[in-house]
Amino acid sequence: MGQIPVPKPYIREFEKLGYGMFIHWGLYSQLAQGEWVMKLRKIPKEEYSLLQNTFTAEHFDGREIARLAKRAGMKYIVLTARHHDGFSLYDTRGLSDYDSMHSPAARDLMADFAAGCRAEGIVPFFYHTTLDWYVDSYREDFEAYLRYLQQSVEILCTEYGKIGGMWFDGNWDKPDADWQEDALYGMIRRNQPEAIIVNNSGLHKLGVYGHPEIDSVTFEQGRPHPMDRRGKPKYVAAEMCQTMGAYWGYSGADFAFKSTKELIEHLCACRKVGANYLLNIGLTGTGRVAKLQEAMLETIGDWLRVFGQAIYTTAPCGIAGSGSDFGLAGEDGKLYFFVHQLAVSGDWNVTVPSGGVGPRTFTGVRRTIRSIRWMDNGEELSFVHDPAKDLFSFQATGYPYGEDYVVRVAEAVTED
Ligand code: GLC
């Protein structure tokens, strides 16, 4: 069995961020066909790299994006400093000409991003590819490539102030190679002792532990399962990243957007198991946020203005309900009960019930409950608690006509 390790403070801080924005943006955004367009449409490197000459970044404003993240209730942003196409959004300081300094943008976009985040109280994280479709050394001289990679990352860890973390992606491309992770992560620890280190395990290896320095596992496009941390040498956080539509990078022909309902359900499902939710947007070629994505983020932000308290500082505590329902413990001594599929109360001629109004029952409530109320309108709810049978039940009243929060949260004040 074994003990569950105690999280290091910076890892606990990361868990408390809870909800973040992922941004995919690069040369590919100009083609508006997703971030893998170079590879999957077999565009020769010589042709693809011409996109550098038209990359103006004229609408990119780190502060504006950080403001949007704030309105959306997000606490951190992960931006692609360099994606698989090998183009850097930062000043590589002589390492390569294939960066934003050598494009019409002629500025360090990661610097603008980091400063914008800090001004708005948002924590900046840097995504960095580990595989590379651009430099020959990746295929021809892996040792030399790893030096280039490490020097690139070192710039990001030394020239931009304190960062929230480094988010790597691409080791899955050469699963048997020696990526010299000790050296890379060691360098990060020296320069950014409290940076969260992530290395995406990929679509087919959800929640898989990696190198011991890694601070969070990833669930790419997949709902996180509860983490079994018993007997592990270190407490590792969890994060689910997800696209809003079908692609990470901007697509002009993506009609596969999820609904705000689904996104709110995903956010709650992540928090149910204590995982963070990293929701992606793809900026347009010039660095604008697409209108639909902005509107969706703001709508979820409205939900969080009502229920945020139940999302950010809470942690799983073994409270389970039926269906998707669950409970979390807050740092404030309160318990939060998440109720799904609640009906709108009203006249059956106008409202269609989507789920049950009535008692919702939970197990695992170990504290004495004093009172419980909906967070949105403060309505007090009646409840019964039978600790001997391990049952806690409260009367979930329906949404007032005109409202539907998808997931409604009740907060309970406890005696201890
Ligand atoms: C995948 C893709 C990549 C994307 C990443 C985000 O690994 O290769 O395009 O950036 O997932 O999690």
Same domain, 306 and 359: no
Q: In the 8-state DSSP scheme, what is residue 357? A: -
Q: Which atom of ligand 1 is nearest to the CA of 129?
A: 10
220, 277, 278, best to mutate for ligand 1 pocket (most atoms within 8 Å of CB): 220
Å from CA of 247 to ligand 1 middle: 9
Q: Which atom of ligand 1 is nearest to the CA of 241?
A: 12
Residue that the structure tokens 């999820």 belong to: 258
Here the tokens at position 380 are 């007090």
3-state class percentages of the chain: helix first, strand second, coil last, to nearest 5: 30, 25, 45
Q: What is d(CA 346, CA 364) in angstroms, rounded to the nearest whole number? A: 33
Q: What is d(CA 328, CA 273) in angstroms, rounded to the nearest whole number? A: 9
Nearby residues of 351 by Cβ (< 8 Å), 6 or more positions away: 343, 344, 345, 401
Å from CA of 366 to ligand 1 middle: 41
Q: Which protein residue's CA is at the shortest distance from atom 10 of ligand 1? A: 248
pLDDT of residue 347: 59
What is the residue-level pLDDT of the chain in tens, covering all 416 positions?
A: 689 999 999 999 999 999 999 999 999 999 999 999 999 999 999 999 999 999 999 999 999 999 999 999 999 999 999 999 999 999 999 999 999 999 999 999 999 999 999 999 999 999 999 999 999 999 999 999 999 999 999 999 999 999 999 999 999 999 999 999 999 999 999 999 999 999 998 898 888 888 999 999 999 998 899 999 999 999 999 999 999 999 999 999 999 999 999 999 999 999 999 999 999 999 999 999 999 999 999 999 999 999 999 999 899 999 999 999 999 999 989 999 999 999 877 655 555 545 678 899 999 999 999 999 999 999 999 999 999 999 999 999 999 999 999 999 999 999 96
Same domain, 305 and 391: no
Residues having CB closer than 6 A to ligand 1 are: 24, 35-36, 169, 200, 202, 220, 241, 248
Whether 208 maps to a domain, the answer reads yes
Q: Which of 258, 284, 312 is the last residue of a domain?
A: 312
Å from CA of 169 to ligand 1 middle: 7
CATH number at residue 372: 2.60.40.1180
Same domain, 279 and 393: no
Q: What is d(CA 279, CA 296) in angstroms, rounded to the nearest whole number? A: 11
Whether 2 maps to a domain, the answer reads no
Here the tokens at position 162 are 């304190």
pLDDT of residue 348: 57
Q: Which protein residue's CA is at the shortest distance from atom 1 of ligand 1? A: 202
Contact 32, 252 (CB under 8 A): yes
Å from CA of 352 to ligand 1 middle: 40
Q: In the 8-state DSSP scheme, what is residue 221? A: T
Element spanning 106, H or E: none
CATH number at residue 278: 3.20.20.80
CA distances from 9 to 185, 215, 235, 267, 333 (A): 18, 11, 10, 23, 20
Same domain, 302 and 358: no
Using one digit for the tens of pLDDT, what is the confidence trace for 118-159? 999 999 999 999 999 999 999 999 999 999 999 999 999 999
Å from CA of 243 to ligand 1 middle: 10
Q: Which atom of ligand 1 is nearest to the CA of 202?
A: 7
Q: Which of 312, 347, 362 is the last residue of a domain?
A: 312
Q: What is d(CA 135, CA 148) in angstroms, rounded to the nearest whole number? A: 10
DSSP codes, 25-62:
-SGGGGGTB-TTHHHHTT--HHHHGGGGGG---TT--H
Whether 1 maps to a domain, the answer reads no
Q: Which atom of ligand 1 is nearest to the CA of 127?
A: 10
pLDDT of residue 349: 58
Q: Which atom of ligand 1 is nearest to the CA of 280?
A: 6
pLDDT of residue 205: 87
Look at the chain and report how many structural domains it folds into: 2
Å from CA of 68 to ligand 1 middle: 23
Same domain, 294 and 331: no
Q: Which protein residue's CA is at the shortest distance from atom 4 of ligand 1? A: 248
Contact 130, 149 (CB under 8 A): yes
Å from CA of 250 to ligand 1 middle: 13
Same domain, 252 and 329: no
pLDDT of residue 357: 84
Whether 340 maps to a domain, the answer reads yes
Nearby residues of 147 by Cβ (< 8 Å), 6 or more positions away: none
pLDDT of residue 350: 54
Angle subtended by helix axes 142-158 and 181-191, to nearest 10 = 10
Same domain, 217 and 293: yes
Whether 89 maps to a domain, the answer reads yes
pLDDT of residue 202: 87
The reported pTM is: 0.96
Å from CA of 326 to ligand 1 middle: 30
Q: What is d(CA 404, CA 398) in angstroms, rounded to the nearest whole number? A: 9
Å from CA of 170 to ligand 1 middle: 8
Q: What is d(CA 416, CA 407) in angstroms, rounded to the nearest whole number? A: 27
Q: Which protein residue's CA is at the shortest distance from atom 12 of ligand 1? A: 220
Same domain, 94 and 162: yes
Q: Which protein residue's CA is at the shortest distance from atom 5 of ligand 1? A: 169
- Rounded-to-10 torsion of CA 276, 192, 188, 147: 120
Same domain, 351 and 390: yes
Q: Residue 26 sits in which domain range?
A: 9-312
Using one digit for the tens of pLDDT, what is the confidence trace for 340-363? 999 877 655 555 545 678 899 999
Count other Cβ atoms within 10 Å, centred on residue 288. 18
